[in-house]
Structure 1
Amino acid sequence: MARAMGARLEGRMTDPEVVVIGSGPAGACAAITAAQAGARVMIVERAALPRPKVCGCCLSDAGVAGLEAIGARDVLHEAVPIDAVRLATGTREASLPRTGGVALSREALDARLAAHARSYGVFVLERTSARVHADGTVTLASDPAAPLRPACTVVADGLGGASLVDIPGFQWRIEPRSRMGFGAMLPAGAVDCVRGEIRMHVAHAGYVGAVRLEDGSIDVAAAVRPEALRAAGGPAACARAWLGHAVLDPGALDAARWRGTPALTRRRACLAAPRILVTGDAAGYVEPFTGEGMGWAIATGAAAGRLAAAMRSAPDAWRAWPSQHRALVRVQRLRCRAIALTLRSPLLVTGAIACARAAPRALGAAAHAVGRRPSHAPRPAGAAA
Structure 2
Amino acid sequence: MKTLVIGTGGREHALARALAQDPSVSEVHAAPGNPGMAAVATLHQVDPMDGVAVADLAERLGVDLVVVGPEAPLVAGVADAVTARGINVFGPSAAAAQLEGSKAFAKDVMEAAGVPTARAFVCTTPEEVAAALDEFGPPYVVKDDGLAAGKGVVVTEDRDAAVEHAAGCERVVIEEYLDGPEVSLFAITDGTTVHPLQPAQDFKRIHDGDQGPNTGGMGAYTPLPWAPPGLVAEVLETVLQPTVDEMARRGTPFAGLLYAGLALTSRGTRVVEFNARFGDPETQPLMALLDSPLSDLLVGAATGTLADVPAPRWKDGAAVAVVVASKGYPESSSSGDLITGLDAVEAVEDVHVIHAGTAMSGDDLVTAGGRVLAVVATGADVAAARAAAYAGVTHVEFEGAQHRSDIAAGI
TM-score, L = length of structure 2: 0.26
TM-score, L = length of structure 1: 0.28
